[in-house]
Amino acid sequence: MSNYLILDIETIPDESLIDKPIVPIGNITTDKGIGCPFAAVGLMPEPARAQPAPEPSSIPPPYANRPIAIGCLWLDANLTPIKCGCLGTSKYGDDEKALLVDFTSFAGREKPAIVTWNGRGFDLPVITLRCYKYGIPLEWYDQDYRYRYTDKKNIDLFDLMTDFGAVSKKGFKLDKIARLIGLPGKYGVDGSQVKGLFEAGRFEEIEEYCITDVIQTAFIFIRFQLWRGRISAEMHDQAVVKILDFLKEKHDKFISLIDHKTLSVLSK
């Protein structure tokens, strides 16, 4: 049985890799103001006006996102927490390569099952493509992690709970599924504020936000393991208590916002 690495990342846009809107240059004109000299004598149609470029997506493609925080909660095969923390800008500054090397060195050494919310669609492509940018080898990131229809090493809860896209993804968000089982969901900070916090130098707030998403993903994962019959109700509640005890010293504010009766299944 594998250990589990619950993972979430925060990013900012890499402006150097984001497509800029095409600015129309207009038609070539002559001193008589004719848009095209050949069009005036019927030899060529007047060229169509350039259309405005579409508005760019608010979220750049994975390769154009720079990771600034990688939050992790490491659980053993019995769902007992081993370590929790965030690799981020407060430690690495602008050295994105060092951040990626530290994370991928750990993953390559331990080869945990990586658990995410939409990690196949965002977190892991960002990490792997930014490693590609810096020439960081990822020999550990093999078929067990890359093949979509197995969860041997890559457990994307969003992908699995929507039956690989068969269920409508509209409104199917970490925040809502977290609230469904008694967790606080998003509070204080959300992803739309990360860039502003980064520019203000408030790196520790970003890292704390990242960790709260990791913790909520962990509890969603434990409920998912019960839901699909991999653990019993007793094992579920034992795992919940172990994680709460492990986190209470550093994350007491977050824990105070949990509806503990709803998070437990034996109390219902």
Encoded tokens for 70: 């990688």
Strand 81-88 vs strand 113-116: parallel, antiparallel, or unpaired?
unpaired
pLDDT one-digit tens code per residue, 5-56: 999 999 999 999 987 766 665 554 444 444 444 444 455 454 444 444 444 4
- Does the pLDDT at position 170 exceed 60? yes
- Which residue bears the tokens 């892991």? 124
Q: Quote the Cα angle for 222-228-232, to 5°.
A: 60
pLDDT one-digit tens code per residue, 96-139: 999 999 999 999 999 999 999 999 999 999 999 999 999 999 99
For residue 171, the model assigns a pLDDT of 85
Helices (H) and strands (E) in the chain, counts: 11, 5
Note whether 223 and 236 are within 8 A (CB).
yes
For residue 92, give Cα distances in angstroms to 8, 97, 118.
17, 9, 25
Beta strands in 80-200 (DSSP E): 81-88, 113-116, 154-156
For residue 32, the model assigns a pLDDT of 47
Give the residue from 191, 212, 156 showing the smallest Cα distance to 58.
Answer: 191
Beta strands in the chain (DSSP E): 4-13, 65-75, 81-88, 113-116, 154-156
For residue 114, give Cα distances in angstroms to 28, 52, 222.
56, 42, 14
> What domains appear along the chain, each with residue ranges and CATH number?
4-15+58-263 (3.30.420.10)
